[in-house]
Amino acid sequence: MEFDVTHALPFLPENWLSSRLEGLTNARSLLETGRGLGGSFTGWVRFPETYDRKELERLIQTARIIREQSQVLVVIGIGGSYLGARAVLELLTSPNYNLLCRDRPQIFFTGNTLSSDALSELLEYVEDRSFSVLVISKSGTTLEPSVAFLLFRQLLEKKYGRVKARDRIFAITDRHDGALRALADQEGYATFSIPPSIGGRYSVLTAAGLLPLAAAKLDPEELLSGAADAMVRLRTPGQDNPAWQYAAARNALYEGGKTIELLACYEPAFRCFGEWWKQLFGESEGKEGRGLFPASVEFTTDLHSLGQYIQEGERDIFETVVRFAIPAASCPLDPKEDDQLDFLRGKDLRHVNEQARKGTVLAHVAGGVPNLLLTVRERSAYWVGQMLYFFEYACGLSGYLLGLNPFNQPGVEAYKKNMFALLGKPGYEGHLSTPQPPSL
């Protein structure tokens, strides 16, 4: 991977990196030693080299069982329990995976909504198909996945009977505690655990991400291998470290008034990766009245919707663009004379897409939008593993540069307390928040 800050330099002070070396050195130490705020949740830092090989072999075998017995795998989870798996699945295959898969199950992600329409639609779809359920929740009490699991477990038991349904339910949860762990032990579900030192949004390289991906015949070992190589590289301190450069550049741009970061890519398969990235940075940095607002765009598509605002709207935006150096497919162009596309004759669509990227950078920088560029070799499991670790590590550094705890998310609980109070859940009486009128 290569990180390039060239098109942000006009917006950065000369000492944008050197003035932050001390802070970065301290942030690195906090990540590596686990002595900083939230340090008990830094198990992901070394996970690519410490993962349990026997557990990985069992995971691959379980994925094989799912493929053999099911046309559909329903993955139930919310936030970090599903975003990473879905992001990697679509990036390494296609956003149209469920239309194109042949010798592997369709994979649907649910438990991330309370929409009766969405849940009913999927329940109806799997009713006359063989299916398995993978439920992912550390506590087992988060409402969205709990409701979805209730509904799909009932359907499994109706379809196969309670005993046979057990063989089609797989759970990823806390190793010892929680409602889902208790139920899994009671019913005899096959289980995997997320290490207690790894929070949800950093869990994509644990069983939470790897089991659904292995069920889709993607290689978890290659993902871990890429992450392990990135770990070795990013552990080296200094100005040449790309994670240090990214963390420093976004911190300097933030201090200069650029409060919104747009993650952009020119591949539609990257769209859900942007959703994973938004949770990673949004939950890690958005607290105590601080933090960049993470948003994502798909180019060139969104240049025809948000492009006007990016070019000439409020100047509080900068872009981080992910570029894949080697696209998987070529598409040569040979227009006829009356197509009015003669200027594209002899060119490949890959070349056209790259020129669109370059032209957009020039336009946006001229319009006052700094651009950062991360170049990844290709859309393969190894390189995606590197990219996942790069963003996780840079996020940890960025949070500590802001003086925040990058591993908690206290604000997430606010809506839950109100919702449970409104639903009449015991123990939540009197927890309803009362909005305060604005001061005059």
Residue 281 confidence (pLDDT) above 90: yes
| The predicted structure's pLDDT at residue 439 | 57
Assess whether 304 carries a catalytic annotation.
yes
| The predicted structure's pLDDT at residue 140 | 84
More confident residue, 286 or 424: 286
Residue 437 confidence (pLDDT) above 80: no
User: Is-contact 206 47, C-beta < 8 A?
Assistant: yes
Active-site choice (217, 351, 416, 431): 416
Over residues 215-220, the mean pLDDT reads: 98
Residue 182 confidence (pLDDT) above 60: yes
SS3 content of the chain, % helix, strand, coil (to 5): 55, 15, 35
H or E segment to which residue 142 belongs: none
Residue 237 confidence (pLDDT) above 90: yes
Greatest extent of the chain over all pairs of C-alpha atoms, in Å = 73
The Cα 119–Cα 111 span in angstroms is: 8
pLDDT in tens, 293-306: 999 999 999 999 99
Over residues 189-205, the mean pLDDT reads: 95
pLDDT in tens, 408-423: 998 887 888 888 888 8
| The predicted structure's pLDDT at residue 438 | 59
Among the ranges given (51-60, 83-92, 292-301, 342-351), the one the predictor scored with the smallest mean pLDDT: 342-351
The Cα 385–Cα 97 span in angstroms is: 20
389: number of Cβ within 10 Å: 29
| The predicted structure's pLDDT at residue 81 | 93
Active-site choice (90, 144, 283, 319): 283
Model confidence, pTM: 0.95
Q: Hey, CA dihedral for 166, 168, 173, 179, is it positive or negative?
A: negative
Over residues 175-193, the mean pLDDT reads: 94
Assess whether 283 carries a catalytic annotation.
yes
| The predicted structure's pLDDT at residue 215 | 98
The Cα 60–Cα 62 span in angstroms is: 5
User: Is-contact 389 234, C-beta < 8 A?
Assistant: yes
Active-site choice (14, 54, 304, 413): 304
Residue 440 confidence (pLDDT) above 70: no
Residue 436 binned pLDDT confidence (cut-offs 50, 70, 90): low
Tokens 């700094």 sit on residue? 370
The Cα 205–Cα 80 span in angstroms is: 11
The DSSP line for 283-303 is HHH-BTTB-PEEEEEETTGGG
How far lies 286's CA from each of 31, 67, 279, 315, in Å?
19, 39, 10, 20
The DSSP line for 326-393 is S-S---B----GGGT-GGGTT-BHHHHHHHHHHHHHHHHHHTT--EEEEEES-SSHHHHHHHHHHHHH
Q: Hey, CA dihedral for 291, 400, 224, 230, is it positive or negative?
A: positive
Residue 359 binned pLDDT confidence (cut-offs 50, 70, 90): very high
Segment 60-66 long-range contacts (CB within 8 Å, at least 24 positions apart): 60/214, 60/220, 62/170, 62/190, 62/192, 62/211, 62/214, 63/211, 63/214, 63/215, 66/105, 66/132, 66/134, 66/170, 66/215
| The predicted structure's pLDDT at residue 208 | 97
| The predicted structure's pLDDT at residue 336 | 85
Chain mean pLDDT for the chain: 95
| Coil/strand/helix, residue 227 | helix
On the CB side of 400, CA atoms within 13 Å amount to 26
| The predicted structure's pLDDT at residue 97 | 97
Over residues 163-189, the mean pLDDT reads: 95
What are the residue ranges of helices labelled H in 70-171?
83-92, 97-100, 116-126, 143-160, 162-166
pLDDT in tens, 64-116: 999 999 999 999 999 999 999 999 999 999 999 999 999 999 999 999 999 99
The Cα 178–Cα 420 span in angstroms is: 18
